[in-house]
Structure 1
């Protein structure tokens, strides 16, 4: 199987290996197709009952990634919603020598001064503002907005419809839930969880789960 194909511009486009055949894997696969990527080389999943992803080969469990790299497969993406596991597997793949390209839906709007880290994915209608910085292995989910000068550390997940005002800071592996709104300048600590529809008007400590309007700590 050819892992690399030429593009019209003469640059190389890589057949990417996907990790994870669940719901997020399906979303990433559709994004790749919409963005005109070559068909993925396949998907790996540790679930023995997994049916894989439609239209691409199921190549076995995650441990097969090492052999596939030795066979010449060059790029991979971890399509898992679990932030900690996505980060750990992404760094493991990088240690094997895989490239971890950014996957961006063509409807996403990203400012020229914004920076997106390796292994991150931008799903449909995402907006990333001027001078925003997004770390490695992040999920910017459908329709979320990351405004100017915001800083997102590694392996965060900004859920569909969430809005981050200018200068917001999000710590590593934090989750901002569906439809949440964060006041400009607030900070959300590492591993924290912002609940669905929460209105965050003050800083959230690391590891804390908050929800409501305005957001308060939850059990």
Structure 2
């Protein structure tokens, strides 16, 4: 996303994921970062540091800023989602972030707060839900459906027509074959190859020859 956002940006968090987002947003109007500890990454130099949520709320009402959720998303961890819900309940909105180094078809629909990072490719007629992450180098092929609060980890591939239900995690370098459906709150392990539908709250892991499935 090359044009400037309509409002100043505030990044929530200062860990690894926030650092990546700050680098993507270096040409954008980032005015503050919220973190209990002072951020150490060089990319945060010169950006105002706020220690807690109350300070942000007292400084800027919802209509004055857009938020960027810099909390990373791990399997079966809901901190990122809770941060989004906390601020949304207060009336704040989240910026949708697309790296200039990503390739996103014009027919792709991105939900509020979705994040598409460097080297990611999203092909036509695909929908990415609110607050989902399409991470570095991930490939999402045509006519896929990724619901809200999902993480498509680095170098993973969703083949054509795949659907991923909310709160699910597709691990690094995993591959989901065409037309497969992944249920809610599922976890696909790194490097796994999924050839059939996965019902909600299950985990799969291992290469295609030895893949295992278990309930979370």
Same fold (TM over 0.5): yes
Checking the alignment, whether the CA contact within 8 Å between 1:28 and 1:79 is kept in structure 2 is yes
CA distance in 2, matches of 1:29, 1:12: 14
- Please list every run of at least 4 consecutive aligned residues from structure 1 whose deviation after the TM superposition is greater than 6 angstroms: none
Q: Given that residues 5 and 28 in structure 2 are in contact (C-alpha distance below 8 angstroms), is that contact kept between their aligned partners in structure 1?
A: no
Indicate yes or no: 2:40 matched with 1:44: no
TM-score of the pair, normalised by structure 2: 0.87
Instruction: Establish whether residue 19 from structure 1 lines up as the match of residue 12 from structure 2.
Output: yes
- Aligned equivalent of 2:68: 77
Residues in 2 aligned to 1:141 and 1:134: alpha-carbon distance in whole angstroms: 12
Match of 1:93 in 2: 87
Shift of 1:52: 5.4
Structure 2 unaligned spans of 5+: none
1:104 aligned partner: 98
Alpha-carbon offset, residue 66 of structure 1? 1.9
Give the conservation status (yes or no) of the 8 Å contact 1:211–1:218.
no
Partner of 2:6, secondary structure, is: strand
Query: Counterpart in 1 of 2:111?
Result: 117
Deviation of 1:120 after TM superposition, in Å, equals 1.1
When the two structures are superposed, what TM-score results if normalisation uses the length of structure 1? Answer: 0.86
Residues 167-200 of structure 1, C-alpha deviations (whole Å, 9 max, x = no match):
1111111110100011011111111111111001
Q: Decide which of 150, 175, 194 is 2:188's aligned counterpart.
A: 194
Separation in 1, partners of 2:193, 2:155:
13
2:176 counterpart residue number? 182
- Where 1:91 maps in the other structure, the secondary structure is helix
Q: What are the superposed Cα offsets for residues 89-140 of structure 1, whole Å, 9 maximum, x if unpaired?
A: 2233233332312111111111111100001111101111111000000111
Report deviation, 1:72. Answer: 6.2
Q: Are residues 98 and 199 of structure 1, via their aligned partners in 2, closer, same or farther at CA, if it must alter by over 3 Å?
A: same
Deviation at 1:218, TM superposition (A): 4.8
**Residue 62 of structure 2 contacts residue 90 of structure 2 at CA under 8 Å; is this kept in 1?**
no
1:3: which partner in 2? none
Q: How far did 1:60 drift?
A: 1.2
Aligned counterpart, 1:158: 152
Q: CA deviation at 1:208?
A: 1.1
Count, aligned residues: 205
Cα pair distance change 1:186/1:114, threshold 3 Å: same
RMSD of aligned Cα (Å): 2.0
Partner SS state of residue 28, structure 1: helix
